[in-house]
Amino acid sequence: MSFLELKNIQKSYYLGKDEFKVLKGINVSFNKGEMVSILGESGGGKSTLMNIIGGLDSKYSGDVLLNGSSLKHDTDKQLDEYRRNTIGFIFQSFNLISHLTLLDNVLVPLEMTTLSKSDQRKRAEELLTKVGLKEHMHKYPNQLSGGQKQRVSIARALAGDPEMLIADEPTGALDPQNTTEILQILENIAKEGKLVLTVTHSDKVAEYGTRIVHMTDGKIDQDKQLRDKFKEQQDETLESKSLSFSSTLKMTWDNLKYNKTRNMLIIFGSLIGIFSVIFMLGLGNGVRGYINHEIYSQVNPNSVQVQHKDSNNRSSFTDSDIQRVKDTKGVSSAEKGYSTNGIQFKYGKKSAQSQIMNTSNSTINSSNIKAGTTPKDNEVLINKETAQSLNKKNYRSLVGKKVQTTFTAQKDGRPFPVTKTFKIAGVYDSQSPLVITTYNTVKNALADNKIKMTTTFIDAKISGGVSNVTPVQDRINNMKVNGKKAYSVSGAGSIISTLNTYINLAVYVLAAIAGISLLVSAIMIIVVLYISVSERTKEIGILRALGATKGNIRMLFVSQAIMLGLFSSILSVVVGYLLQFGINSAVNGAIGYSIIQITPGNAIFGIVISIIINLLASILPANKGAKLDPIESLSAE
């Protein structure tokens, strides 16, 4: 049984409906240890035949038998494996991958073997030594002469330890000196027991082999044995595997480095979009935080006041009303409250007015108290403006002083002025003309005038964040007493909550608008990858000839997109944080708040979204690359 047997191989090309028969029934056998020169007229079908033998072309009739088993029934995957295990290609135009060093070029087929990384490197160096190029191994192909390039391609063809070398006009581009040297190397390979098939036009080259097979008009018209074949050796071949993910990543990385400037521009282009989104989200956090901070510093948003739903109802809230509010989910405490308006102060000769007095301490944020403390019984807390009316020069000195206070109460259904002297417990900073006192203070003052204390509102505190306020408020508003809704709730919390909803909405709209630039960058990535596929068409052909699968090729472009996405998004995050630092340092002095607040979540969101977008953008170009025909790719200019 021959090592390689071709049985009645026929192949036609079609131009529209016109059939061009190129191979018209090839029957021939080859064995290991042979160095066969395939001679013939130009256009006679030699390369076509080599592509069929090399497993690059499976659209033919007839049969190719390797050790007796047919290639015809092999799947794409099996043919990839066949090329990896059995075939080494050497081309007239060398077909080295230009962005890889000589060492890396030779390593490509080795990365498709099960050898360890260090053994791969060792073998690549040995092969480069064998072809006399060890000291050049870190050079790129364009830094070599033609003869040197061909030696590298021989080293690469031998790397996966194939049983057969297919050399399509290996010396076509070389001078006589280099031609002899290359033929010598090929002969040595045959002597090692491999089958060497050399397509040539040169009789001199043909004479070098052990056998000449001549083709004319798609048929073999001459098969001449020149000398005995060399001894066949059965050495162990290297076990092959498909290109690993890490090898693909390394190739992508090498390619990115090779096209440095272009890729930096792409990264910069994508950066704008991702940065805008991250920055908008950070700005949103800052603005929301700033507005909340400003409001919180005036009032406590978690304190709400429950009134009668019917505003004409002036009846006192009962203990069961208070209990009902206290029992509401989310309410941490509920207390009796009293509110009245039309407050007059007299301090020496000075007088001042305030609009409302109520007994809810919790509405005032304690950090806002400028002087003194919160009021105890028979004390009042007044706002700064009122205090300044009483003592323009030094309002702080009012703390601890007595002030005559008159407020309006209801006695027998009529307004009744109640006057009493209270101590000023403190002064707080707020625009609202509100006086704060305690429930007992009012109760005592009313008792002095024989007026029965009524509870005019319930002061409820809501636990948790400000976002809890609206749901609790809704619960109280919807609470029914005797089948009717009885209460209405007021407080700053619900306003903040609504405000936050609007700010969030505005931020998401802005981020979405910024996101449009992500769409632009996605289109840019698609275009760049299509360009990359067409630039790397030859490389795709080379990789396929070396045994890379369609999946490997797809991965090459997907990983390119992912890497670009990763770099641009990480850079965006860095730029975002730098800008955040710069802007916050600049405005902090003016507003006392960091207005840009990019969270780790925002940064991760930016990175993830960028990778997803690039991944999606890579689908079409990567598929195009994967589907390219290896033979056509190899002939790409």
480 strand-pairing partners: 485
Of 60 and 422, nearer to ligand ATP (C-beta) is 60
Amino acid at 413: G
Closest CB 519 distance from ligand ATP, rounded Å: 39
* Interacting positions 276-305 with ligand ATP (CB under 6 A): none
In eight-state DSSP terms, residue 240 is B
Cβ–Cβ < 8 Å for 191, 162: no
| Start-to-end Cα distance in the chain | 40
Among 3, 4, 5, 47, binds ligand ATP (CB under 6 A): 47
Q: If residue 179 lies in a helix (H) or strand (E), which one and from where to where?
A: helix 176-191
Of 200 and 618, nearer to ligand ATP (C-beta) is 200
Give CA–CA dist 201/37, Å, rounded: 9
Of 22 and 562, nearer to ligand ATP (C-beta) is 22
Of 40 and 286, nearer to ligand ATP (C-beta) is 40
Specify burial of residue 17 (Cβ count, 10 A radius: 0-12, 13-18, 19+): exposed
Closest CB 10 distance from ligand ATP, rounded Å: 13
Give the rounded distance of the alpha carbon of 231 from its chain centre: 57
Closest CB 229 distance from ligand ATP, rounded Å: 24
Of 48 and 517, nearer to ligand ATP (C-beta) is 48
Q: If residue 489 lies in a helix (H) or strand (E), which one and from where to where?
A: strand 487-490
Closest CB 46 distance from ligand ATP, rounded Å: 4
Closest CB 174 distance from ligand ATP, rounded Å: 16
Of 14 and 367, nearer to ligand ATP (C-beta) is 14
3-state class (DSSP) for residue 583: helix
Of 90 and 489, nearer to ligand ATP (C-beta) is 90
- Residue 562's alpha-carbon distances to 127, 249, 259, 558, in angstroms, are 34, 10, 16, 6
Question: Residues for the chain: how many in total?
Answer: 637
Among 44, 162, 547, 625, binds ligand ATP (CB under 6 A): 44
Cβ–Cβ < 8 Å for 22, 47: no
Residue 603 in contact with ligand ATP, rule: CB under 6 A: no
Which range binds ligand ATP by CB under 6 A, 42-50, 206-214, 371-379, 499-507?
A: 42-50
Tokens coding 44: 């006679």
Residue 313 in contact with ligand ATP, rule: CB under 6 A: no
Of 40 and 337, nearer to ligand ATP (C-beta) is 40
Residue 43 in contact with ligand ATP, rule: CB under 6 A: yes
Closest CB 48 distance from ligand ATP, rounded Å: 3
Of 42 and 142, nearer to ligand ATP (C-beta) is 42
Of 59 and 227, nearer to ligand ATP (C-beta) is 59
Q: If residue 213 lies in a helix (H) or strand (E), which one and from where to where?
A: strand 211-216
Closest CB 90 distance from ligand ATP, rounded Å: 14
Which range binds ligand ATP by CB under 6 A, 46-54, 288-296, 325-333, 383-391?
A: 46-54
Among 32, 46, 194, 554, binds ligand ATP (CB under 6 A): 46
Residue 54 in contact with ligand ATP, rule: CB under 6 A: no
Closest CB 145 distance from ligand ATP, rounded Å: 23
Closest CB 36 distance from ligand ATP, rounded Å: 15
Of 52 and 609, nearer to ligand ATP (C-beta) is 52
Cβ–Cβ < 8 Å for 211, 35: yes
Q: If residue 402 lies in a helix (H) or strand (E), which one and from where to where?
A: strand 402-411
Of 22 and 115, nearer to ligand ATP (C-beta) is 22
Closest CB 43 distance from ligand ATP, rounded Å: 4
Query: CA-based angle 436:438:439, to the nearest 5?
Result: 125
Cβ–Cβ < 8 Å for 78, 210: no
Closest CB 216 distance from ligand ATP, rounded Å: 10
Closest CB 35 distance from ligand ATP, rounded Å: 19
Q: If residue 150 lies in a helix (H) or strand (E), which one and from where to where?
A: helix 146-159
Of 56 and 546, nearer to ligand ATP (C-beta) is 56
In eight-state DSSP terms, residue 243 is P
Which range binds ligand ATP by CB under 6 A, 43-51, 96-104, 443-451, 598-606?
A: 43-51
80-101 in b/e form (b: 16+ CB < 10 A) is bbbbbbbbbbbbbbbbbbebbb
303 strand-pairing partners: 461
* Interacting positions 92-151 with ligand ATP (CB under 6 A): none
Residue 45 in contact with ligand ATP, rule: CB under 6 A: yes
Closest CB 42 distance from ligand ATP, rounded Å: 3
- Residue 296's alpha-carbon distances to 247, 293, 306, in angstroms, are 56, 5, 20
Amino acid at 290: Y
* Interacting positions 7-36 with ligand ATP (CB under 6 A): 13, 22
Which range binds ligand ATP by CB under 6 A, 45-53, 232-240, 362-370, 383-391?
A: 45-53
Give the rounded distance of the alpha carbon of 114 from its chain centre: 32
Of 22 and 403, nearer to ligand ATP (C-beta) is 22
Residue 48 in contact with ligand ATP, rule: CB under 6 A: yes
Residue 541 in contact with ligand ATP, rule: CB under 6 A: no
Write out the DSSP string of 255-274.
Answer: HHHHTHHHHHHHHHHHHHHH
Give CA–CA dist 114/517, Å, rounded: 44
Among 17, 42, 349, 393, binds ligand ATP (CB under 6 A): 42
Give CA–CA dist 266/521, Å, rounded: 8
Which range binds ligand ATP by CB under 6 A, 41-49, 152-160, 393-401, 446-454?
A: 41-49
Q: Is the four-CA dihedral 424, 429, 431, 436 of positive or negative sign?
A: negative
How many chain residues are in contact with ligand ATP, going by CB under 6 A?
Answer: 10
Amino acid at 82: Y
Output the furthest CA–CA distance in the chain (Å, rounded).
136
Closest CB 6 distance from ligand ATP, rounded Å: 15
Q: Give the Cβ contact number of residue 138 at 10 Å.
A: 10
Of 46 and 550, nearer to ligand ATP (C-beta) is 46
Q: Which residues of the shown chain bind ligand ATP in the complex (CB under 6 A)?
A: 13, 22, 40, 42-48
